[in-house]
Amino acid sequence: MMSKKFSVVVAGGGSTFTPGIVMMLLANLDRFPIRKLKFYDNDAKRQEVVAKACQIILREKAPDIEFEATTDPQEAFTDIDFIMAHIRVGKYAMRELDEKIPLKYNVLGQETCGPGGISYGMRSIGGIIEIIDYMEKYSPNAWMLNYSNPAAIVAEATRKLRPNAKILNICDMPIGIERRMAAIAGLKSRKEMEIRYYGLNHFGWWTSIMDHHGNDLMPKIREYVGKKGYNLDIPEFKADTSWTVTYDTVKEFYQLDPSTLPNTYLKYYLCQDEVVEHSNREYTRANEVMDGREKTVFGECRRIAAAGTAKECGFEVDEHASYIVDLARAIAYNTKERMLLIVENNGAISNFDPTAMVEIPCIVGCKGPEPLTVGKIPQFQKGLMEQQVSVEKLVVEAWAEGSYLKLWQALTMSKTVPSAKVAKLILDDLIEANKDYWPELK
């Protein structure tokens, strides 16, 4: 079963998350053997900083793995089994504008939600489609494991524009929350839970959580969340200030349907006025990341390169990202792993748009995902999801058609935007900011 070794390309080789992904892959070589690891990025200088450090790490920890970092698509995507994609078109400088432009108009400024998410989505679609085309040209039997944001818009784009592509869209946010839920329930791992969940990406609800013995864990977790949100007084789960606030806010909107447990990102749609009120318009989350993780990761990469050794490496195994190996193994070994994926609804939620890209549990094997049936969902969630999925569809149509009108409609329809007038003001500013990235809109 484990005789084959795989060739993997990380698309977005210059990402701050790439070293953690490499450490995670190395920690899982017994489960997912690798013969070749490549980095691909269109920013050679940024990728080089990460690649130099990772090359030293690989040389010391797994010298038999062939390593290459390139900006050439043919080199990157030839002889590949899996693409692990976490691209950020425009990097953090554009994320900063995504967050700050809406805040000028007292509208939520967030990376993947509201106008910021729409702006980011308009940049990301072309990049993801380009990578799919490279994969199909140079390694047509490969699978693309995509966890690039904003996942909802990207997934809708792949459904509409590349419907036959071998791509699996997945998000790590539910996994991070489930780790916290497992700790609340007194379990060692989220894999000791069997969950039911439905929604859109960054827009969903858990409806059932049981252990492998059939014990219902929801009452205990709901009681805790009603008091403390998803915050935990455990060092392993210590979060920075902005995430601590997010986890705490959950207890407010959890009460809207206390029979379920919500995704944290619903905060941006159900508590948007509070979020705006407490936002620092001059120093957003993008600034925190640039001053924090980005400086730390690139500083450590440069230190390793200068030292010529990673023996005192500051990078830790990103266990949080091990879901990527679980997904690759499911395809490679037909493990029938049960995972949350973003897939075409196609009747899984019986009273919802069959073409919507929904986030639901799937059984994953060598032929891809088999979505589990959800059935009917309540009017409250259905109404919220219909509004949001319409936003996502309009964004993709706007990109594909070069339509100013459809993008204005998408912004107007977003629950985070108060009026068509404000939507137009934001749109015009975003068009100017994204002139090097978006298609021309008419």
Question: Which sequence positions are flagged as catalytic?
Answer: 172, 265
The total number of residues written for the chain in this structure: 442
Contact 50, 345 (CB under 8 A): no
What is the end-to-end Cα distance of the chain in Å, rounded?
54
Contact 231, 244 (CB under 8 A): yes
Structure tokens at 82: 């899996």
Radius of gyration of the chain (CA): 21
Task: Please state the φ and ψ torsions of residue 309, each to the nearest 5 degrees.
Answer: -150, 150
- DSSP code of residue 354: T
The CA-atom distances, in angstroms, between 122 and each of 147, 194, 285, 305, 367 are 16, 35, 20, 35, 30
DSSP letters, 227-255, are HHTT--SSGGG---HHHHHHHHHHHHHGG
Bridge partners, residue 167, by sequence: 144
> Which of left, alpha, beta for 308 (phi over 0: left; psi -120 to 50: alpha)?
left
